């Protein structure tokens, strides 16, 4: 499955309780760990944390995109956590993060992974779309907004 719309439709979208980067990552991993595509939750968490040590996935504009492609993930998974107060994510622009979109994929999905990641970043770079994602209370409506925005 590499259709971004399908990935969004199957995404978990929720409001983060976390106030720190590490807690936000753990909260998102805990949600995704329930998915059958994640065969080893500890490996998933460790891989996400190791990726963060290389360089922060806080890309700026209030957005972070922690991501990994590893053997213990069988297919794309996406969770989007929202924080109205913002989280210090060591972002490249120094600003707090309000949307954390975590993506996991199989190590066999390298080419597709880059395309999915790029499409999601492109979507979420739109300021009005980010605002809708943050302010829309119903996760199903957020999914509709994200899919509707598809080019």
- φ and ψ of 39, to 5 deg: -90, -20
Q: What is the pLDDT of residues 9-45, one digit of tens each?
A: 999 999 999 999 999 999 999 999 999 999 999 999 9
Q: What is the pLDDT of residues 94-105, one digit of tens each?
A: 999 999 999 999
| pLDDT of 151 higher than 70 | no
Domain ranges of the chain: 4-136
Torsion of CA 114, 135, 79, 120, to 10 degrees: -10
Confidence of residue 1 (pLDDT cuts 50, 70, 90): very low
Cα gap 7→3, rounded to integer Å = 6
> Which class is 4-136 in CATH?
alpha beta
- Alpha carbon distances (Å) from 60 to 11, 35, 80, 130: 22, 28, 16, 12
Q: Which two tokens stand for residue 119?
A: 């499409």
């Amino acid at each position: 499955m590499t259709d971004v719309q399908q990935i969004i439709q199957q995404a978990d979208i929720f409001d983060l309780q976390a106030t720190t980067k590490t807690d936000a990552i753990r909260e998102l991993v805990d949600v995704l760990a329930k998915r059958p595509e994640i065969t080893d939750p500890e490996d998933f968490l460790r891989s996400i944390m190791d990726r963060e040590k290389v360089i922060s996935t806080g890309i700026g504009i209030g957005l972070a995109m922690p991501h990994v492609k590893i053997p213990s993930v069988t297919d794309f998974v996406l969770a989007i956590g929202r924080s109205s107060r913002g989280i210090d994510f060591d972002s490249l622009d120094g600003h707090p993060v309000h949307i954390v979109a975590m993506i996991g994929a199989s190590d066999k999905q390298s080419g597709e992974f880059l395309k999915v990641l790029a499409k999601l970043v492109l979507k979420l770079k739109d300021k009005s779309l980010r605002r809708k994602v943050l302010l829309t209370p119903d996760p199903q409506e957020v999914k509709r907004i994200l899919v509707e925005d598809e080019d």
